[in-house]
Structures are given as C-alpha cells and as structure tokens.
Structure 1
Amino acid sequence: MKIGIASLIAGYVLSQFYRAFLAVLAPALEADIGATPEDLAFASGLWFLIFAGFQIPVGAALDRVGPRMTATVLLAIGGAGGAVLFAMAQSPLHISLAMALIGIGCSPVLMASYFIFARVYSPAVFATLAGMTIGIGSLGNIFSAAPMAWAVGLFGWRETVMGIAALTLLVALIIWVTVKDPEKVVSTAKGSVLTLLAMPALWPIFIMMLVNYAPSAGLRGLWVAPYARDVFAADVGTIGTVTLIMGLAMIAGNFAYGPMDRIFGTRKWVIFAGNALGAVACLALYAMPDRGLWVSVALLALVGFAGASFPMLVAHAKAFFPAHLTGRGVTLINLFGVGGVGLFQFVTRPIYATSADSAQTAAEPYAALFLFAGLALIVGLAVYLLSQDRTD
C-alpha cells in the first residue's frame, strides 16, 4: 500500500505541475501562438472547473470500482493525452482544450490517496497524511517554476511538454501496477452526493473551501508572473525565483497545518486563523502593490503559506461523512476547493481587464485582483464562523 500511495503522490506532483506551469510558459506562448494573459486565465480557469466538475463521477467511481482503475485510466487518457495536445497547439483555443483534458486526467489522483487514507488509516492522522500528500505533491509547483523555465530555455516549450506527457503516461502505468484497492464498505444504507448536500453542517465548510485555496493557487498559477514582469520589470529568471518562493511557502504551509488539529484540539479555529492571516496578506498587497519586489514576494509567500488549509478542511468535512459515502464525500469537498480556483480565474480575468483600461499605473490592475482575493476570504470566514467544530 505504501508503494501505491507513493505512485499516487507522484501523480499528484504532476497535477500540481499542470495547474501552475502556465505562469512560466506565458512569455513563450504569447510569442509563439499569440496567447495573451487573458487567454491563459481562461485556459487555467477551465482546467480548474473541469477538474472540479469531474469530482462527482470520480467520487462515484472511487466507491464503486476503487482508486486503482479510476486514477490509472483518467491520468493516462486525460493527463498524457492532454499534454500531447498542448505540445502540438497552434492557437490559444488548442491550449484551452488541452488544459480541459489535462484537468480530467488530474481529477482523481489526490482523492484516490485521500480515499485510501480514510479507509485504511486511523481518522486521527487523516489531516497529517492529507497535508503530507499535498506538501510532497506541491513539489510540482517547484518543478513548474525555475526548473520548467530552464527546460524550456534548453529544449523549447513544445519538446518539454511532450516529455512531460511521456512521464505522465509512465506514472499512470505505475499506479496500475502498485495501487491496491481497499476493501469495500458493505452497507445497506443508501445515499449519494445529494445526501451530503442535504447536511447543514457541511455548508459552512463548503463555502470556506470555495475561497480558501483560490487566492494562493490562482495567484501562483497565473498572475504572479505578469505581476512581477509588469510592475517590477522582472526577467524570466526572476519570475522563476518568485514563483519558486511562493511554491515553497505553499509546501511549508501544508506540512505546518497537518498536525495542528491534534496540537490545538480544534480544526475550526486553526482553519479560521490561517485564512484570516491570508486575508490580511492579500489586503496588504492591495494597499502597497508596488512598494518593492521582495516586499510583494514576502506577502505572496504568506498568502501561499496561509492558504494551505485545504487538507485540514477536508478532514473537518470528512468527520461528518457516512463511511459508505467516503469517496463521494472527499471528492465533493474537493469540487468546492478546486472549483473555487476555477471561478477565481474566470472572475479575475474581467477584473484585470476592466482595471487595466482605466489604470494610471502598472500596479493598479493587480491591486484590484489582490483586493478581490482578500474580500473573498473575508466573506468565506464570516460564513465559516457558523460551522460546527469536530475532530476525530
């Protein structure tokens, strides 16, 4: 089972890579096929929304056929196939279609791990294991930064993405060989996603999940690169460093959150405090978007660190799930988390464009994005105050 988990984490490394690599590819895609930041915002948002939408069938598949087949088939066909399409793209439309297909391919890998954790391991360590998985998987964020920029400079962006497609197919095959499905839960109780949606205790958690991951993933995955370039005249190497620092902060946050429910005896207030810190960082970026590159990098790193409460929110919600709906439950909560990032990307596109039309400085459109991110977190926190704290 440990080898199988390792292979699923490798798949999640690829998932993290694919959701963030557009930031580094942006200059090459604009020069080669005319893809603007708005085009890439649409493609990135599509990845997240397709990924989120597929959580419903993935949840049913995890409960019915298990994580082995679910992860292997989707990652091989969607992930590797989408990457091949990306490498062959001739227009921004092709990039969007490729990102949608990659989103399908990446949709099961994290939840397959969480499904196994929920079925095989003690509930008390779920948050720690979940945080560890995202922490290690977030190496994909690192690979999509400076190493990706180096590979693109050495081999070209098409060749680099084609190589990643081959690696994705290899990981899918390793998952097929190494993952073992947990024993199925035998239950006479019936239920579906609608059963979970009808539980009032889950809705404050869903709303918090909708906004908690969006600022860190949305800014890191798309807006950090043009922000550094337009406001601070950063070159490709500096952009790689900036995205690397934010990625490392996100990894550190996942490991830091993991054991906090056992240390403090609460999940609700750990999540609340962390996201409140993230909101403060977003509003500080809004207030001083052009104070200095490294001031902004420090605040972006804080956004990334504080926004890593995703696994803790999954653990909070899982405490309310019936055992026979575990697969549907973890994927439903993931739908809100990843779907929130997709919505963030779609909404920030017109926010940026509208602000840019009337901006007096290069920083103003990005300040508008930071303000939106901070306000979204504040709204989520207000709703989350109504949640019921629960630990295992």
Structure 2
Amino acid sequence: MSFFPPSALRVFIPFAFGFFLSYLFRVVNAVIAPDLVADLHIDPSQLGLLTATYFIAFASSQLPLGIFLDRFGPRKVEAFLLTFAGAGAIIFARSHTLTGVIIGRAFIGFGVSACLMAAFKSYVLFFPEKIWPRINGFQMAAGGLGALSAATPVEWILRLTDWRGLFLLLALFSFATALAVLFIVPEKKSKATPDRFSQQIKGIKQVFKSLDFWKIAPLTAMSQAGFLSLQGLWAGPWLRDIAGMQRPQIASVLSWTAISMICGFISLGFIAEKLAQRGVSILVTAVTGMCISMVIQFLIVFKLFLPIPLLWMILGFFGTSGILSYASLTYSFPKALSGRVTTSINLLVFITAFILQWAIGIIINQWETTAAGHYHPSGYKASFLAVLGLQAAGFAWYLFALFKKKHQK
C-alpha cells in the first residue's frame, strides 16, 4: 500500500506481531478452558478470576505506561515489557495450582500491556494524522489474527501437545517478538522536549478532568470490556452449553468470529475515515457501531432471528467499534499527550474487563454445574444480560453528556 513503504513496514510489522501475541494470550483460554478446569479442578468463578487476571495486570500498568511511552518512546518500553510476558508464559506452563497459574497470567497481562498503546504512540510519531484511524485499524486487525490463531490453530496444536506445551511455545514467541521490536523498529522521539515528571502527572489529570474524555469513556469501557469478556473466555463455554457444540465446532465459530473481527477493524477504520471527510465525526461512527453491537448481544442471549454462528460473526465485526473512540479522543488533546490519552481509556477498559469477566463466572456459579461439567443456561442469560445492561447505561450517559454540553454553549 502507498503508505506502507519498506521504512514504514519496519515500524508496523514488529508492533503488529506484538499485538498479535497480546490478543492470542487474551483469548486462548476460551479454547483451553475445559483443560484448565479438568487439570486444576476449578469452578466457573475461579476460571473467570484466572482468565480475568490478565486484564487487571494489564490495567495496572496503563497510567505509568502512558508516561513511559511519552518519555522513553514505544520501542524500548514494549521490548522490555514483552520479556515479562515470556516469563509469565513459562510460569503458567509449569504451575500445577490455581495460585501459580494466576501469577503466570498476571505476568503475561503485564508483559503485553504496551502492545497496543506502544503501537498507537509509534504511529502518531511516524504516520500522518489523516491516516491514524486506518493504520490503527490494521494494527487491530493484527490482534484479530491473534484471536484467530487462538481458535482452530490452537486446537490443532493441542492434538500434538497439551496446554502446557502450548504456553512454552508462546514464551519463545514472546522473547522473539521483544527482540524484533528492539532491533527492527527505528528510533524516533517526539520533537517536543519531554516534560518533567510533575508535568506528566498534570497531563494525566488534564485527561481525566476533560468532559470530552468522560463523555465517551463509560460507553467505550463497557462495550470493549463486554466484548473482551465474551470473546476472551465465555463464548467458548456458551457455545458448548447453550449451542451444544463440541470443541472443533467451537473452535470453528471462534475462528470465524475472529475473521469478522479482523474485517471489522480494517473496514470500520476506512469507513470512519471516509465518513469524517463527509462531516460525520469518528465518535459518531464509533457510537453507532457500539449500539449495533448491543443489539447483536441481545439477539445472542435469546437466540433470535439468525443462526448462532452468524450472530457471533456479526458481533465480532461490530464489537471492534469501540476502538475508534481511541483515535477520536487523540484528536481532542495535544499530540504530546497521545500516550496518556490512549492509556487512560485503556485503563478503564481493562479494569472493567477484569470485573466483568470475573463477575460473569460468579453469576454463572450461582446455578449448579451438571455432572458433565456444563453450566446452567440461566447463569449465562443472567450474566450476559447484566453485561448488556451496563453497556446500555454507558450509552445513556453519552446521550446525557451530549445534552449537557449542548446546553453549556
């Protein structure tokens, strides 16, 4: 593509591999959940806590990450953190207790916490402003490929080894990606002189005091966290227990969902860019996509109108809409704050994802598990509707904030 000359590919490809790895780690438990439950003897709430630990470890790094990205640059920060992901994968593979795998999962979440934000920061430095939504869309598509690899390809690998062997392979991939980011990506720092630490903290406060930020943050956090919680874990058990699918079928549906997600990331980036040229803001496009995502989730809960695989594919496409909010928010702040802007919204998304993914397991655990290890349909319905209700509340807040801002003028 015209905006991807060889020099630009040196920037894009290593960061794309990093986010590929991040997403693979994020959603792989949806496929290996039965193995984890059987080997570690854990219940739904413990499975939710284990998988959601990724999100809280990820979230814990976001605010300091924004400062480090703006001060030290994305290349060094991401390469350093990816070594923790490799160490975490080894701990995860070698552990035989719930505590051990939780520690490993936490290391993984912390280690991949820069994979998206470092890329976004790098693209702000290397690419012209007008193509940020597009290049961000391609970056997100790389994550979609990671989600795709966590489905059917993981199922193939599990025929050759167990989940422990899988995570040892992922550890090697983590270390290799760290080296690629460090030695392939060129160094380029912002032209602005880095602020003192106290000024950088003030930058974070500036973001969190902004009405532009809080207008969209709740809806984005609930929408993205809801999608991450379902796709990253609970879609697999739901397809098993509600749709009656076996693991090869589940892997296939998750694969097509990931393919749809890739298409969504790329297509919505182009659509947002074209609509912006016609006067439709990126934020409006993002909100419209998130509303469509809510409708699809409602149809999934009640299995209405369309075949189940198709519903999950449509959700995969529109579940990506919230990422457009990141680019929209970047336009609302000075470029020097770009790292702190994106990590601030990411902080909210991943704290919410931790809570929702764990909470779904807690709600499901209120109903008895069958002798075959299947969870009760009422548990899925109650938990999925709770997630949907929170997204609706986020949308209501967005409308209220628009109304309030309009009447302040």
TM-score above 0.5, yes or no: yes
Offset, 1:356: 5.0
Q: Distance in 2 between matches of 1:350 and 1:134?
A: 30
In the other structure, the counterpart of 1:259 is 270
Equivalences for residues 306-317 of structure 1 within 5 A: 306-317=318-329
Aligned-pair CA distance for 1:100: 0.6
Structure 2 letter corresponding to 1:377: Q
Q: By how many angstroms is 1:4 displaced?
A: 3.0
Task: For 2:321, give the aligned amino acid.
Answer: S
Q: Which residue, out of 205, 209, 212, partners 2:220? A: 209
State how many pairs are aligned: 383
Correspondence for 1:55 among 56, 59, 62: 62
Runs of 4+ in 1 over 6 A off after TM superposition: none
Opposite residue 367 of structure 1, the aligned amino acid is K
Residue 118 of structure 2 corresponds to residue 107 of structure 1: no
Contact 2:44 2:365 (C-alpha < 8 Å) held by counterparts = no
Mapped partners of 2:178, 2:348: distance in 1: 25
Q: CA deviation at 1:16?
A: 0.2
Distance 1:37 1:296 in 2: 23
Residue 351 of structure 1 aligns to which amino acid in structure 2? I
- The one-letter code matched in structure 1 to 2:156 is W
2:24 maps to 17
User: Residue 376 of structure 1: which of 390, 397, 400 is its match?
Assistant: 390
Once the two structures are superposed, the pairs formed by residues 164-243 of structure 1 within 5 Å of their partners are 164-187=170-193, 190=199, 191-243=202-254
For 1:5 and 1:87, how far apart are their aligned partners in 2? 30
Among 121, 126, 130, the alignment partner of 1:120 is 126
Map 1:354-365; keep pairs closer than 5 Å.
354-355=366-367, 362-365=376-379
Displacement of 1:185: 3.5
Structure 2 equivalent of residue 286 of structure 1: 301
- 8 Å CA contact retained: 1:247, 1:304: yes
Residues 88-99 of structure 1: pairs in structure 2 closer than 5 A: 88-99=94-105
Gaps of 5+ in 2: 1-7, 370-374
**Residue 41 (1) aligns with residue 41 (2):** no
> TM-score under structure 2 normalisation?
0.88
Distance 1:46 1:364 in 2: 25
Distance 1:79 1:132, change over 3 A: same
Question: For 1:214-240, what per-residue CA distance to the aligned partner results, in whole angstroms no more than 9, with x for missing partners?
Answer: 222211111111112222332221111
Q: Which amino acid aligns with 1:85?
A: I
TM-score, length basis structure 1:
0.92
Partner of 2:3: none
Match of residue 28, structure 1, among 27, 32, 35: 35
Segment of structure 1 superposing worse, 249-258 or 261-270? 261-270
1:79 equivalent among 74, 85, 107: 85
| 1:140 partnered with 2:146 | yes
1:52–1:242 distance in 2 versus 1, CA, 3 Å: same
1:129 pairs, out of 129, 132, 135, with 135
Report what 2:258 is aligned to.
247
CA distance in structure 1 between the partners assigned to 2:171 and 2:302 by the alignment: 41
Q: Secondary structure at the match of 1:259?
A: helix
CA contact (8 A) 2:286 2:323 kept: no
Give, in whole Å, the separation in 1 of the partners of 2:346 and 2:126. 20
Give me the whole-angstrom Cα distance separating, in 1, the residues matched to 2:71 and 2:258.
35
Compute the RMSD of aligned alpha carbons: 2.2
Distance in 2 between residues matched to 1:188 and 1:174, nearest whole Å: 26
CA displacement at 1:148 relative to structure 2: 0.5
The alpha-carbon deviation at position 9 of structure 1 amounts to 0.8
**Aligned-residue offset at 1:311:** 2.8
Shift in Å, 1:110: 1.1
Deviation at 1:297, TM superposition (A): 2.3
Secondary structure of the 2:160 match is helix
With 380-389 and 65-74 compared, the bigger mean Cα shift is at: 380-389
2:343 is matched with which residue: 315, 328, 331? 331
Deviations 1:355-388 (Å, cap 9, x if unpaired)?
558xxx9422111222122212211112223358
Q: 2:165 aligns with which of 159, 162, 182?
A: 159
What code does the residue aligned with 2:299 have?
A
Alpha-carbon contact 1:50-1:104 (below 8 Å) kept? yes
Greater CA drift, 274-283 or 297-306:
297-306
Per-residue CA deviations over 1:124-169 (Å, capped at 9, x if unaligned) read 2111111110012211101111111111121222112101111111
Q: 1:165 corresponds to which letter in structure 2?
A: A
> In 2, are the aligned partners of 1:56 and 1:332 still within 8 Å (CA)?
yes
Say whether the 8 Å CA contact 1:26–1:37 is kept in structure 2.
no
Identity of aligned residues (%): 25
Question: Shift of residue 188 of structure 1?
Answer: 8.6
8 Å CA contact 1:280, 1:374 repeated in 2: no
Unaligned ranges ≥5, structure 1: none
